[in-house]
């Protein structure tokens, strides 16, 4: 399969190491032979395996550790945009895999939403993406969701269409579900611009109480400020932010009474592709480990999740 001006985005759901390596290396070799650029984002161990398999052809491929690229997984979209800009029109093939088994389930779902959005973000980039998913470590539910985010699948070395594939807007909307803050969560009202500074002080105090370090706190305060500003500008008062702990994550839950984002891809698209209103969420996604957006009859809910120090 060759890319025209579109984007070829396939998932490789593999059971064994050999299956992973043979599909990945033949995908990369095809590109190297055609004079394309290759890029691999994978765990350091897998990078070593792939290099070994490629032999001399590995010289024509760039490798980056998934631990770095996906440290904040929301930054991956931007990293790829940056790589494409440097490639200056050369065709690019990307192998992208992070260790999803190490992520919490909200993070896994956010990653899958980002995967789906990639079909839009890179829709006219001429990019080929192969996303390995390790069936041995992931649940069938995650794998089935993954099939919904990828238009194509690689099975036994052959490309097939994914019957479960859903258009990104529909796919993302299907994964949006409101999670309500626990009754015990502390909260702070924020209805207008003058409430933002007190809301930031509240956030700083709460983050300190949950032992978040200074830098992570400053980042989180920015993300909350952006989402609250967006709610003030485009949503409806009253607005409120709750802070609570959920397992190993700190959650900031922002609610406003407005109808929310018209486009379910808001915040997954870079600002220059986003019609409006998504910049705050885009920024939040570069800062937080996970961002969730959902609506109910009361308005819009945005949940920002960051790992607490114990989980880092």
Partner 1 sequence: MAGLYGLRPGSHVCALYRDDEERRRVATAFVRCALAAGDRVIYVAANGTSESPLDLLEQDGVDTERQLHSGQLILRKFEDLYGKAGQPQLLPIEEGLRQAVERSRADGFPGLRMATELAWLPRVISLEQLMRWEQVAGRAQLQVGITSVCQYDQRELPAEQAELIAGAHLAIADPDGEAPLATFLATNEPWGLRVRGELDLSNRDAFASCLRVRLEHQDELVIDLGELRFVDAGALETLFEVAAELPEHGRIVLANASTWVRKVIDVSGLSDPRVELAP
Looking at the Cβ atoms of 234 and 245, the one nearer to partner 1 is: 234
- Residue 207 engages partner 1 in binding (rule: CB under 8 A): no
**According to CB under 8 A, which residues from 155 to 194 bind partner 1?**
193-194
Burial letters 184-200, b for 16+ CB under 10 A, else e: ebeebebbeeebeeebb
State the DSSP H helix or E strand holding residue 300, giving kind and residue range, or none if neither. strand 299-307
Looking at the Cβ atoms of 97 and 226, the one nearer to partner 1 is: 226
* Triad 75, 278, 193: Cα angle to 5°: 115
- Residue 226 engages partner 1 in binding (rule: CB under 8 A): yes
Report the nearest approach of partner 1 to the CB of residue 286 (Å).
5
Report the nearest approach of partner 1 to the CB of residue 73 (Å).
14
**According to CB under 8 A, which residues from 78 to 137 bind partner 1?**
78
Looking at the Cβ atoms of 196 and 210, the one nearer to partner 1 is: 196
* Triad 282, 284, 289: Cα angle to 5°: 115
* Interface stretch with partner 1, choices 103-111, 135-143, 214-222, 293-301 (CB under 8 A): 214-222
- Residue 60 engages partner 1 in binding (rule: CB under 8 A): no
- Residue 260's region, left for phi above 0, alpha for psi from -120 to 50, else beta, is left
* Interface stretch with partner 1, choices 37-45, 89-97, 215-223, 298-306 (CB under 8 A): 215-223
**According to CB under 8 A, which residues from 275 to 304 bind partner 1?**
279-280, 282-283, 286-287
280 Cβ contact list (under 8 Å, min separation 6) = 226, 227, 229, 230, 267
Give the distance from CA 110 to its chain's centroid.
Answer: 5
Report the nearest approach of partner 1 to the CB of residue 92 (Å).
20
Looking at the Cβ atoms of 50 and 241, the one nearer to partner 1 is: 241
State the DSSP H helix or E strand holding residue 86, giving kind and residue range, or none if neither. helix 76-87
Looking at the Cβ atoms of 29 and 285, the one nearer to partner 1 is: 285
Closest CA to 268 of 284, 249, 251: 284
Report the nearest approach of partner 1 to the CB of residue 224 (Å).
10
Closest CA to 40 of 111, 129, 107, 114: 129
CB 62 within 8 A of CB 38: yes
- Residue 143 engages partner 1 in binding (rule: CB under 8 A): no
Q: Out of 34, 197, 211, 311, which residue is the one contacting partner 1 (CB under 8 A)?
A: 197
Pair of tokens at residue 305: 């999740």
- Residue 262 engages partner 1 in binding (rule: CB under 8 A): no
Q: Out of 218, 236, 277, 294, which residue is the one contacting partner 1 (CB under 8 A)?
A: 218
Pair of tokens at residue 15: 């059971």
Q: Out of 6, 123, 174, 270, which residue is the one contacting partner 1 (CB under 8 A)?
A: 270
What is the β-pairing status of strands 290-296 and 240-246? unpaired
Site residues (vs partner 1, CB under 8 A): 78, 193-194, 196-197, 200, 218, 221-222, 225-226, 229, 232-233, 270-272, 279-280, 282-283, 286-287
């Amino acid at each position: 399969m060759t890319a025209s001006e579109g984007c070829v985005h396939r998932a490789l759901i593999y059971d064994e190491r050999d299956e992973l390596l043979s599909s990945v290396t033949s995908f990369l070799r095809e590109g190297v032979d055609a004079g394309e650029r290759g890029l691999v984002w994978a765990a350091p161990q897998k990078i070593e395996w792939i290099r070994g398999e490629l032999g001399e052809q590995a010289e024509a491929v760039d490798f980056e550790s998934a631990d770095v690229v996906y440290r904040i997984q929301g930054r991956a979209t931007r990293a790829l945009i940056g790589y494409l800009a440097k490639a200056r029109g050369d065709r690019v093939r990307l192998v992208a895999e992070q260790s999803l088994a190490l992520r919490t389930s909200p993070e896994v779902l956010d990653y899958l939403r980002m995967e789906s959005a990639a079909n839009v973000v890179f829709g006219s980039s001429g990019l080929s993406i192969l996303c390995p998913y390790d069936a041995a470590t992931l649940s069938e539910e995650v794998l089935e969701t993954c099939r919904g985010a990828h238009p194509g699948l690689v099975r036994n070395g052959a490309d097939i269409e994914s019957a479960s594939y859903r258009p990104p807007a529909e796919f993302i909307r299907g994964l949006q579900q409101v999670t309500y803050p626990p009754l015990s969560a502390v909260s702070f009202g924020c209805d207008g611009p003058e409430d933002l500074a007190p809301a930031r002080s509240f956030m700083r105090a709460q983050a300190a109480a949950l032992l978040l370090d200074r830098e992570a706190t400053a980042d989180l305060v920015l993300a909350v400020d952006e989402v609250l500003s967006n709610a003030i500008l485009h949503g409806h008062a009253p607005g409120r932010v709750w802070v609570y702990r959920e397992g190993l994550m700190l959650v900031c839950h922002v609610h406003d009474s407005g109808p929310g984002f018209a486009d379910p891809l808001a915040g997954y698209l870079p600002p220059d592709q986003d019609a409006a209103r998504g910049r705050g969420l885009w920024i939040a996604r570069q800062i937080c480990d996970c961002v969730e957006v959902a609506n109910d009859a009361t308005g819009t809910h945005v949940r920002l999740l960051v790992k607490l120090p114990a989980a880092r």
